[in-house]
Structure 1
Amino acid sequence: MTRSIEKLIDQLWDSYQKNNPQADRIHRLLSERGETIVNDHIAFRTFQDPRIGIDQLAIPFLEAGYQAGDDYRFDAKKLYARHFQHSDPALPKVFISELMLDEFSDDFRDIIQRMLDQIPNREVLAQPLCTAGRLWEVPYADYKALSEQSEYAAWMAAHGFCANHFTVFVNALTTIDSLQDLNALLLEEGFSLNQEGGAIKGSPEVYLEQSSTIASVVDVPFKDGDRSVPGCYYEFARRYTLPNGSLFGGFVAKSADKIFESTDKKLHE
């Protein structure tokens, strides 16, 4: 079973690199320093719909022995999320969020519905939903309309079901002592970091520090032609020890809220 989930993670990584060309560059940068990169977590996005919601995306991970962890709400972004973790610490955590569609306007939901109506029955899909990619055609005008109310929704419209980001587990690095030092290295090498809420989100006091690059811009085929839009980003997480001696294994909603903005087009303006 471990081999099958590792194969799935490798497949997700291969697709992710196409939506985030900087990931391979960062991976090489760290590897050339002698680092063995450990992945802290993989994140996915979806919509609140029984056909494609969190429970559906989580299926291959639950079948591989993952268990549900904490739930999270992001009221301003109208998101609900849950994380999953495996008893094998070598396997990354999984963070899945979904957009609460019933909190949006009728016009917004109509665009989403036109997309979701194109999804084939699950029996037709030959692979897990989390690897299925975009299962709909969408005009660029709809992408723009969605982005006015939710950059998250616009990203989903463009990319569909894939890993939104992978995450370097900073604790496992041996040549870099802190997230601050890693950020400094990345900036020195020409990478742009998400500065929303500060370059580092969180603190040792909440047992988690996170930072991330700004999403790569990639060409996406819309119904009316290719357009350049934000793709995926790379995240970096440092975890701290709880009073009971164990390493904090969850997430901090306030920090994650700002990490979500790594795919916002405003960061490219």
Structure 2
Amino acid sequence: MKFDNKTPLDIILKSIFEPYKKNVADVETISKAMIKKGLISKEEDIINDHIAFRTLGVPNLGIASLEKIFLAHGYQKMEAYYFEEKKLDAYWYAPPRPEYPRIFISELRVSELSSTSQSIIKKYTEHITDDPVDSINLENPTETGQFFYKPLWEVPSLDEFLQLAKETEYAAWVMYNRYYLNHYTISVHALPEPYNTLTTFNNFLEDTGIVLNTAGGKIKISKDGLLKQSSSVAKMVHATFANGEQMKIAGSYVEFAERLPLPEFQNLEKSVLKRQHFREGFESANADKIFESTYNEQVQKVVNCS
């Protein structure tokens, strides 16, 4: 989370993160609690494991479009992920240098939706006849950063939003939020003991008043046991739809990741462990449940706690 503004990528990531931080209250709540507890001395000490974006699989949009920004700034496309039930595909992208976060981009397989949902999405996106990223000067970091908050299509009506949400809450979220940052992720394993484990850190979060996503359990664990993930539940935010209709909907959230050392490095002293010694990539089963941090079943827990 440290932005030195030394490179275009620094500027782009800062311009993506700052509006998100301003609108997701849990970001500052967690940072202040970590400082008060002595886990960090300042917010910039937090290591950002990854940031994530949601997209629509329609012509000129989706992964193939958005990834161009990160590939142009040194990211490398890595493994693919497939989510059958949620009708999603995804890739993760390795950063050009260890101090930068990984990128995770998912895409809704729109062609697998009902004709009703497809028609709503098409209504708002069919006017996009060229890839909007191609119109950006990718060497201009300010212009590139602003793209993530550029309204590529009009907001839907409230009825259309609710209709989409019946079939896929992911689609409804993207239709309203577009490329808004979905979440950033605190690297828990980089924190001082005993808060470098998700079990202890989750207790700290809940003592702070953070409501955790319980889909698949509060801690989602990869098959190899080397990647553990939790997330906060998105809080409700005011949304204004077409014709001025208003309703509170799920915003963005914060994720927490604990990566364990690979087997061949597990006997190394913690002080010598570096990023390359830890488990890389992601896990479909984990991510499948993390997506639900913006889903109504989870979000209502925050409402009920209010």
TM-score range, shorter chain: over 0.9
* Partner SS state of residue 7, structure 2: helix
Normalization by structure 1: what TM-score?
0.93
* Partner SS state of residue 70, structure 1: strand
- After TM superposition, give the deviation of residue 134 of structure 1 in Å: 5.7
What residue number does 2:71 align with? Answer: 62
Would you tell me which structure has more strand in proportion to its own residues? 1
- After TM superposition, give the deviation of residue 268 of structure 1 in Å: 3.0
The letter of the residue matching 1:261 is E
Distance across 2 between alignment mates of 1:17 and 1:134: 22
* Partner SS state of residue 246, structure 2: strand
* Partner SS state of residue 154, structure 1: helix
Gaps of 5+ in 2: 137-142, 266-276, 301-306
Residue 252 in structure 1 maps to residue 283 in structure 2: yes
Once the two structures are superposed, residues 166-212 of structure 1 have per-residue CA deviations (whole angstroms, 9 ceiling, x without a partner) of 00011211251311111101111111000111100015833100000
Indicate if the aligned counterparts of 1:42 and 1:166 stay in contact, CA closer than 8 A: yes
What residue number does 2:8 align with? Answer: 4
- After TM superposition, give the deviation of residue 49 of structure 1 in Å: 2.0
- Match of residue 49, structure 1, among 58, 61, 69: 58
Structure with the greater alpha carbon radius of gyration: 2
- After TM superposition, give the deviation of residue 120 of structure 1 in Å: 8.0
Once the two structures are superposed, residues 100-157 of structure 1 have per-residue CA deviations (whole angstroms, 9 ceiling, x without a partner) of 0111111110000112135585266654544435632210101100001001001011
What residue number does 1:13 align with? Answer: 17
- Match of residue 105, structure 1, among 99, 114, 137: 114
Residue 29 in structure 1 maps to residue 48 in structure 2: no
Distance across 2 between alignment mates of 1:229 and 1:264: 10
Using the TM superposition, name which of 201-210 and 74-83 deviates more: 201-210
Using the TM superposition, name which of 129-138 and 185-194 deviates more: 129-138
What residue number does 2:191 align with? Answer: 173
* Partner SS state of residue 100, structure 2: coil
The letter of the residue matching 2:106 is S
Distance across 1 between alignment mates of 2:227 and 2:6: 27
Alignment RMSD? 2.0
- Number of aligned residue pairs: 269
* Partner SS state of residue 218, structure 1: strand
Gaps of 5+ in 1: none
- Match of residue 142, structure 1, among 160, 164, 175: 160
Change (3 A) 1:48 1:204: closer
- Match of residue 115, structure 1, among 124, 137, 154: 124
What residue number does 1:82 align with? Answer: 91
What residue number does 2:253 align with? Answer: 233
* Partner SS state of residue 205, structure 1: coil
- Match of residue 214, structure 1, among 233, 240, 243: 233
Change (3 A) 1:204 1:239: farther
Once the two structures are superposed, residues 200-238 of structure 1 have per-residue CA deviations (whole angstroms, 9 ceiling, x without a partner) of 001583310000000011111211322110000100001
Change (3 A) 1:78 1:203: closer
Distance across 2 between alignment mates of 1:133 and 1:251: 30
Using the TM superposition, name which of 15-24 and 65-74 deviates more: 15-24
Residue 185 in structure 1 maps to residue 204 in structure 2: yes
Larger RCO, structure (CA 8 Å, separation 6 or more): 1
* Partner SS state of residue 65, structure 1: coil
- After TM superposition, give the deviation of residue 67 of structure 1 in Å: 0.2
Change (3 A) 1:97 1:31: same
- Match of residue 265, structure 1, among 264, 285, 296: 296
Change (3 A) 1:11 1:75: same
The letter of the residue matching 2:20 is Y
User: % of aligned pairs identical?
Assistant: 33
The letter of the residue matching 2:94 is Q
The letter of the residue matching 2:31 is H
Normalization by structure 2: what TM-score?
0.82
Distance across 1 between alignment mates of 2:127 and 2:253: 27
Change (3 A) 1:133 1:169: farther
